[in-house]
Amino acid sequence: MENKYNVVNSQINLNEVKLTDVIDLDFLQKFQDHFANGVGVASVTVDPDGNPITKPSKYIRFCMDYTHSTAAGDKRCAESHRKGGEEAVRTGKPVVFECHAGLIDFAAPIMIEGRLIGTILGGQVLTNSPQEEKYRRIAGEIGVNPDEYVEAAQEARILTKESIESAAEVLFIVANSISNAAYQQLKLKSMVNTLSDGAHQISATMEELAASASSVSDNQEALNKEIQNVSSITGKIDEVMDFIKDIADETRLLGLNAAIEAARAGEAGLGFSVVAQEIRNLSNDSKQTVSKIKDLTTLIKESVDTTVKMGSDTNLTVQQQAAAIEEVTASIEEISGLTDLLSEMAQK
């Protein structure tokens, strides 16, 4: 059985479902043939437009060789079947009626959720012995031999109305039970396919997130190392600043000694006194600069320490996210396994 139907938001588009989508045609033909032979009534299955889906089962000579042999008779049959089918659809149950040629027929609708997908037409029987005058009149209307038509009508099987209604009801129950069960199976397959696709898609996304989380974690660790290097370098800057401060102190001492010696030298040492003053000014400027640099390096260290802490917290969060993603991925894999099991069940 070939299934051709549209799926929208995990739901089958009911307007696209055909009878052959939910009932295997070979099975339907065999069931119809065996039923017709066993019960003794003719039957054929048609689509909603009245076009035959199956081959006729146990059609009698009255219909095949005479009524359908002329355009008028064939047209009348089609109209009769159409009216019977419409009444069956309207009531949602089998309808027994007299056809245009005077035989008793029935129409058993096959419906899914209130929508007609086919009809089993049957009958070609009588409830009483045929009235010769009636069939001669019909023969004249459709253009067939009256004597032969009456003779063929006498071959029709005579059943009670209750038997005909029971036969129609059996066909109605079986055909609708099979079609609705198959339709539910189609919906199950559709939902399983959608669920499976979604699970695989989510699983792939989770794998990407896990890989990204791992990459972020690695990058964060590398960043933490670089930050630690910056912290180490800042410590070395402090050492250099201390060294510069010591030099500044010594330079200041040298400048002071130079000033003392210039004072002793009198006028001869005036030029040297100016140099000594500049040396002391330079020493003071150096000490002030060192102090400012140390303040800046202190701020850098504090910022680095804060960054390291934040990086560690981020790394912990990333690790927790990675663990959570692994748990979700494991759950999705379990769901995917269940969808595979459901798919197998739906195929049975």
| 225 and 305 both lie in a single domain | yes
What are the residues facing 44 on neighbouring strands?
A: 121
- Cα–Cα distance measured from residue 115 to residue 109, given in angstroms and rounded to the nearest whole number: 10
- 143 in the same domain as 253: no
CA 56 to each of CA 36, 63, 122, 168: distance values in angstroms, whole numbers, following the listed order: 10, 11, 9, 16
The fraction of the chain above a pLDDT of 70, given in percent, is 56
> Is 172 a domain residue?
no
How many CA atoms lie within 13 Å of 4's alpha carbon, on the beta-carbon side? Answer: 4
Residues 115 and 200 in one domain: no
Q: Are residues 117 and 227 in the same domain?
A: no
d(CA 346, CA 293): 76
In a domain, 181, yes or no: no
- Which of these, 186, 165, 142, 220, lies nearest to 24 by C-alpha position? 186
- Residue 130 DSSP code: P
Taking only the tens place, the pLDDT of each residue in 52-67 is 899 999 999 999 999 9
Greatest mean pLDDT among 42-46, 309-313, 318-322 lies in 42-46
Residues 135 and 225 in one domain: no
Who contacts 203 (Cβ-Cβ below 8 Å, separation ≥6)? Answer: 329, 332, 333, 336
pLDDT in tens, 227-257: 666 666 666 666 666 666 666 666 666 666 6
In this structure, the answer to whether residues 119 and 245 fall within a common structural domain is no
pLDDT for the residue numbered 186: 75
Does 69 reside within a domain? yes
**67 and 138 share a domain?**
yes
- Number of domains into which the chain is organized: 2
76-135 residue pLDDT tens: 988 888 888 889 888 989 999 999 999 999 999 998 888 889 999 999 999 999 999 999
- If asked whether residues 152 and 203 sit together in one domain, one would say no
Instruction: Render pLDDT for 288-303 as a digit per residue (tens, 0 to 9).
Output: 766 766 676 677 667 6
Query: Residues 150, 212: one domain?
Result: no
Residue 155 within a domain: yes
Asked if residue 333 and residue 232 are part of one domain, the reply reads yes
Q: Which residues contact 116 (CB under 8 A, 6 or more apart)?
A: 48, 89, 109, 110
CB-based burial of residue 127 (10 Å sphere; 0-12 exposed, 13-18 middle, 19+ buried)? middle
Spatial CA neighbour of 103 closest among 173, 157, 25, 22:
157
CATH of the domain at 119: 3.30.450
pLDDT, residue 2, reads 42
In a shared domain, residues 155 and 206: no
Residues 30 and 141 in one domain: yes
Does 189 reside within a domain?
A: no
Q: Among 159, 176, 204, where does a domain finish?
A: 159
Burial 48-59 (b: 16+ CB within 10 A, else e): beeeebbebbbb
Q: Using an 8 Å Cβ cutoff, are 284 and 256 in contact?
A: no
The vertex-297 CA angle with 294 and 303, nearest 5°, equals: 145
- CA dist 198 and 103 (Å) reads 56
Look at residue 118 and tell me if it is in a domain: yes
- CATH number at 265 reads 1.10.287.950
The reply to whether the predicted model has a pTM over 0.85 is no
Q: State yes or no: pLDDT of 164 exceeds 70.
A: yes
Q: How many Cβ atoms from other residues are within 10 Å of residue 198's Cβ?
A: 15
Residue 174 domain flag:
no
3-state SS, one letter per residue, for 176-235: HHHHHHHHHHHHHHHHHHHHHHHHHHHHHHHHHHHHHHHHHHHHHHHHHHHHHHHHHHHH
In a domain, 335, yes or no: yes
Are the C-beta atoms of 272 and 258 separated by less than 8 Å? yes
Of the candidates 159, 184, 209, which is a domain's last residue?
159
Residue 229, domain extent: 196-347
